[in-house]
Amino acid sequence: MERAHAITALAGENIESVVSVLDAVRVSGATTRPEIARVTRLGRNVVTDRAAQLIAAGLLTEGPLGRSTGGRAPRELRFNAAAGVILVADLGATSIEVATADLAGSISNARGEAADVTLGPTHILSRVAELFDELVDSLPGDAHVWGVGVGLPGPVEFDTGRPVSPPIMPGWDGYDVRSFFASRYHAPVWVDNDVNVMALGELRGGLAAGHQDVVFVKIGTGIGAGLVSRGLLHRGAQGCAGDIGHMAVGESTVQCRCGQLGCLEALAGGHALGRDGLELAHSGQSPVLAGELAAGHEVTAQSVVDAALRGDPAARRLVTESARLLGGALARVVNFFNPSLILIGGGVASAGDLYLSQVRLAVLGRSLPLATRHLEILQSPLADRAGLRGAAFMVVDELLSPAGLSRTHDQLLIS
């Protein structure tokens, strides 16, 4: 109760400087009051006052004495990442992943299962809620859920948390995902496209840290990209920036799930690899995939990737052709957007260098030399965890923003 009032009290007229001091510790890694003053350019007295408010609210804790630079050693301040718990879910076309996270975006209790997103929001979100309930039951008694973060495999209007005409999610258009969870957990909820969330995970806790302009590409069943511009996620006017999977890549008679012909993901995505792999298995052109089929195994994108890595020539051709098409599309993105880093994640990226080397060749072959001089193209190191971590950072960054702290926090903190 007392701490709830202390947090609510933060949301007064000093909110901007309170958040500056908090961010100096939480994001920039400053540990002492003099360092915070340098980072924030606030006066020492202001820093001392705001830090005292944040300590009373339980968001900062006082640590041991820091290193002395002549005078009295300053006392270290630490961000109290354990102050609250975030529930996070990363929904793919065929999977659900859930976890709890602390306020520093560290994931615990992660668990996942297969799920079919086309079964619709009531079915899928009810299952996510059951998994969340199990996570909440396992939390210590004094833990509070401060927020919920959800990534969805389609375009999302970020301001409302509603999916917008998602091509692979029948029944989800306009569904109020935010209210579904807000009413259950009495906590604010943020929802975004899964690839945006993964880009945020890499930006705040992965290889993209320190980069200002980043493209994160996910090649799962489909293909999508999350864009980071000047250190911030670029969602676009309606939340569908980076939807590169439906770029037309030349003449094609292959129809995409969106109804158009010749989309990148219809030719190069995981669904396409599985489809073409099955054909190679049936025709016997790929001995490895034919063997999989004969053994009663399903031929999926992953089996094509595995066969390619085992040296099966026909499977290798499929994988490298996917990489070449993706690289061609990315060359256009590079000329248009000029990123310093492209990270490639999703199941197909598990082909590693076999895939990345072809993407690099195609990008370098068709981009402006100036745009590629310092461009790195790498495999996403967070892989599966990027979505969960990103969902946590999405929530924490919103909660601990001036607008987030200005909301009434009593409901979050009074059990």
Nearest approach, Cβ of residue 264 and Zn ion (Å): 8
Nearer to Zn ion, 258 or 364 (CB): 258
CA–CA distance, 384 with 132 (Å, rounded to integer): 19
145 or 266: CB nearest Zn ion: 266
Neighbours of 235 (CB within 10 A): 20
Least separation in angstroms between residue 222's CB and Zn ion is 8
Closer CB to Zn ion, 131 or 223, in the complex: 223
Which DSSP category does 119 fall into?
G
Restricted to residues 348-367, the positions that interact with Zn ion (CB under 5 A) are: none
Residues 109-138, interacting with Zn ion (CB under 5 A)? none
Q: Is 271 in the site for Zn ion (CB under 5 A)?
A: no
Q: Which of 203, 89, 87, 235 is nearest to 153 (CA)?
A: 89
Write down the least CB distance from residue 263 to Zn ion, Å. Answer: 3
Place of tokens 């409302």: 160
Provide CB contacts within 8 A for 134, sequence distance 6+. Answer: none
Q: Smallest gap, in angstroms, from Cβ of residue 134 to Zn ion?
A: 37
User: Taking CB under 5 A as the criterion, which residues in 236-265 touch Zn ion?
Assistant: 246, 256, 258, 260, 263
What sections of 11-117 are H helices per DSSP?
Answer: 15-26, 33-40, 44-56
Please, which residue, 200 or 256, has the CB nearer to Zn ion? 256
CB of 254 to Zn ion, least distance (A): 10
**Long-range Cβ contact pairs of 348-353 (< 8 A, separation 24 or more):** 348/219, 348/220, 348/269, 348/270, 348/273, 348/301, 348/305, 348/319, 348/322, 349/219, 349/379, 349/380, 349/383, 350/302, 350/305, 350/383, 351/305, 351/308, 351/309, 351/319, 351/323, 352/309, 352/379
Nearer to Zn ion, 224 or 239 (CB): 224
Q: Which is nearer to Zn ion, 238 or 260 (CB)?
A: 260
Q: Of 262, 172, 269, 165, which Cα lies nearest the Cα of 221?
A: 269
Of 201 and 269, nearer to Zn ion (C-beta) is: 269
Instruction: Please give the helix or strand (H or E) that residue 192 lies within, else none.
Output: strand 189-193
Closest CB 329 distance from Zn ion, rounded Å: 12
Closest approach of Cβ 117 to Zn ion, in Å? Answer: 17
**d(Cα 287, Cα 271) in Å, to the nearest integer?**
20
Give me the least distance between CB of 155 and Zn ion, in Å please.
12
- The least distance separating Zn ion from the CB of residue 250, rounded to whole angstroms, comes to 14
Token pair listed for 45: 């007295």
Number of residues that bind Zn ion (CB under 5 A): 5
Of the pair 22, 325, the CB lying nearest Zn ion is at 325
**Burial of residue 280 (number of CB atoms within 10 Å: 0-12, 13-18, 19+):** buried
For Zn ion, the closer of residues 246 and 409 by Cβ is 246
Spatial CB neighbours of 294, under 8 Å, sequence gap ≥ 6: none
Residues that bind Zn ion (CB under 5 A): 246, 256, 258, 260, 263
